[in-house]
Chains A and B, each alone.
Chain A
Amino acid sequence: MIEYLLDAFLNFSLAFEGLWTWETMSLMALGVAAGLIAGAIPGFTIAMAVVLTLPFTFSMPPEQGVATMVSVMVGGLSGGLMAGILTGIPGTPSSVATTFDGFPMARAGRPGLALGLGVWSSFFGGIFSAICLMTLAPQLARVGLEFQPWDFFMLVIFALTITASLAGKNLIKGLIAGALGLLIRTIGEDEAVGMPRFNFGTEVLLAGFDFIAVLIGLFAFSQLLSDVRDPALARKSLSQQGTVKVRIDHIGALREIAHRWVVVIRSATIGVFTGILPGAGGSVANILAYDQAKKASRTPDEFGNGASEGIIAPESSNNAVEGGALITLIGLGIPGDVTAAVMLGALLIHDVVPSPSFISDEPVLVYSIFTAFFIATFMMIFLQSFMLKFFVQITKIRMYMLASVILGFCGIGVFALNNVTFDLWSLLWFGILGFLMRQFGFPLAPMILGVVLGNIAELNLARALAITPELTPFFSRPWALFFLIIAIFSAAFPLFQAHRGKKIWTLLYMPFACFAVSTPLVMMGGVTRPMIACTIVGYGIWTLFKRWQSDWELERVEAKKPRYTEG
Chain B
Amino acid sequence: MATVNRDTYVAIFLLLFCGVFIDATFDIREPDYGVLMPSTWPRVILAVMTVLSMIYLIQSLKAGPSNPDCSTERSPGFVGFFVYWRNPIICFVMFFFFLWSLPFLGMLIGGVSFVFLLMCMLGGWQPRQLAVHALVAVFAVGGMWSLFTFGLEVMLPEGRIYNPYAS
**Cα distance A193–B33 when bound, in Å?**
8
Q: Which of A16-24, A227-235, A250-258, A262-270 contacts B (4 or more CB under 8 A)?
A: A227-235
Q: Give Cα A412 to B148, complex, Å.
A: 8
> How many interface residues does chain B have, given as a range?
35 or more
Given A193-B34, A193-B38, A234-B122, A408 and B140 contact (CB-CB distance below 8 Å): yes
Measured CB to CB, the nearest residue on chain A to B96 is: A428
Taking a contact as CB atoms under 8 Å apart, the answer to whether A192 and B157 are in contact is: no
- Provide the bound-state CA to CA distance between A163 and B147, in Å: 37
Interface string of B98-120 (1 = CB under 8 A from A): 11001100010001001100110
B88 contacts the other chain (CB 8 A) = yes
Distance in Å from the Cβ of B38 to the closest Cβ of chain A? 4
Contacts of B68 in A (CB 8 A): none
In the assembled complex, which residues on chain A have CB atoms less than 8 Å from the CB atom of B160?
none
Contact among A55, A229, A416 with B88 in the assembled complex (CB-CB below 8 Å) = A229
Task: Give Cα A461–Cα B42 distance, bound, in whole angstroms.
Answer: 12
- Return chain A residues, CB-CB under 8 Å to B114: 407-408, 411
List residues of B (66-100) whose CB comes within 8 Å of A's CBs: 85-88, 91-92, 95-96, 98-99
- Whether the pair A415, B107 counts as a contact (CB closer than 8 A) is yes
Contact between chains at B29 and A195 (CB < 8 Å): yes
- What string of 1s and 0s marks CB contacts (under 8 Å) between B109-143 and chain A? 00100110011001110000000010011001100
Would you call A432 an interface residue if the criterion is a C-beta within 8 Å of the partner chain's C-beta atoms? yes
A56 to B103, CA, bound (A): 23
CB contact under 8 A between A176 and B115, given known A231-B87, A412-B144: no
Chain B residues within 8 Å of A55, by CB: 148, 152
A466–B35 CA distance with the chains assembled, in angstroms: 6
Closest residue of chain B to A408 (Cβ to Cβ) is: B115
Q: Scan residues 410-433 of chain A and give those whose CB is less than 8 A from a CB of chain B.
A: 411-412, 415-416, 419, 421, 424-425, 428, 431-432
A409:B123 contact, CB within 8 angstroms: no
How many angstroms between the C-alpha atoms of A70 and B94 in the bound complex? 33
How many inter-chain contacts with C-beta < 8 Å in the A-B complex? 172
Q: Given that A231-B86, A411-B98, A419-B154 are known contacts, is A465 also in contact with B111, CB under 8 Å in the complex? A: no
B61 located at the interface, meaning its Cβ lies under 8 Å from any Cβ of chain A in the complex: no
Residue of B whose beta carbon sits closest to that of A224: B91
- CB-CB contacts below 8 Å: B22-72 with A: 24-25, 28-31, 33-36, 38-39, 41-42, 45-46, 48-49, 52-53, 55-56, 59
**Stretch in contact with the other chain, from A31-39, A74-82, A396-404, A477-485:** A396-404
Secondary structure type dominating chain B contacts: helix
What chain B residues lie within 8 Å of A200 (beta carbons)? 24
Contact call A59/B152, Cβ cutoff below 8 A: yes
Q: How far is the CA of A403 from the CA of B133 in the complex (A)?
A: 13
Given contacts A407-B91, A424-B102, A428-B99, A412 and B153 within 8 Å (CB-CB): no
The answer to whether A407 touches B115, judged by C-beta atoms less than 8 angstroms apart, is yes
Task: Determine whether A4 belongs to the interface, using a CB cutoff of 8 Å to chain B.
Answer: no
Is the pair A56, B152 in contact by a Cβ cutoff of 8 Å?
yes
Docked CA distance A334–B53 (Å): 27
Cα–Cα, bound, A173→B45 (Å): 15
- In the complex, per-residue mask of A376-398: 1 if CB is within 8 Å of any chain B CB, else 0: 00000000000000000000001
Give the chain B neighbours of A231 by CB distance below 8 A.
86-87, 122
Q: Is B10 an interface residue (CB 8 A)?
A: yes
CB distance from A472 to the nearest CB of B (A): 16
Q: Taking A416-B154, A421-B157, A428-B95 as contacts, is the C-beta distance between A190 and B38 under 8 angstroms?
A: yes
**Contact A183-B148, Cβ < 8 Å, known A192-B36, A231-B87, A234-B122:** no
- Shortest distance in angstroms between A176's beta carbon and chain B's nearest beta carbon? 5
A190–B136 Cα distance when bound, in Å, is 44
A405 within 8 A of B: yes
Residues on A with C-beta less than 8 A from B123 are 234-235, 398, 400-401
Q: Which residues of B contact A412 (CB under 8 A)?
A: 107, 111, 141, 144-145, 148, 156
Given contacts A179-B49, A231-B87, A412-B107, contact A469 B35 (CB under 8 A): yes
Q: Is the CB of B115 within 8 A of A405?
A: yes
Q: Once bound together, how far apart are the Cα atoms of A226 and B85, in whole Å?
A: 10
Nearest CB on B from A220, distance (A): 12
Q: Which single residue of chain B is at the shortest CB-CB distance from A230?
A: B87
Whether, in the assembled complex, B155 has its beta carbon less than 8 Å from a beta carbon of chain A, the answer is: yes
Alpha-carbon separation in the docked complex, A38 to B53 (Å): 37
> Which residues of chain A come closer than 8 Å to B147, judged between CB atoms?
56
List B contacts of A225 (CB < 8 A): 87-88, 91-92
User: Can you identify 22 A-B contacts, CB atoms within 8 angstroms?
Assistant: A55-B152, A56-B147, A58-B154, A172-B52, A175-B48, A179-B52, A195-B38, A197-B28, A198-B24, A200-B24, A229-B85, A234-B122, A235-B122, A404-B119, A408-B114, A408-B141, A409-B140, A411-B114, A412-B111, A421-B103, A428-B92, A462-B35
A residues contacting B by CB (< 8 A) are: 55-56, 58-59, 172-173, 175-176, 179-180, 182-183, 186, 190, 192-193, 195-198, 200, 224-226, 228-231, 234-235, 398, 400-401, 403-405, 407-409, 411-412, 415-416, 419, 421, 424-425, 428, 431-432, 435, 440, 457-458, 461-462, 465-466, 469
Known contacts A176-B49, A196-B28, A440-B6; 9 additional CB pairs below 8 A are A228-B122, A230-B87, A403-B91, A404-B118, A404-B119, A408-B140, A415-B107, A416-B154, A419-B154
The list of the 6 closest CB pairs from A to B, nearest first, reads A400-B122, A195-B38, A462-B36, A408-B115, A179-B49, A225-B88
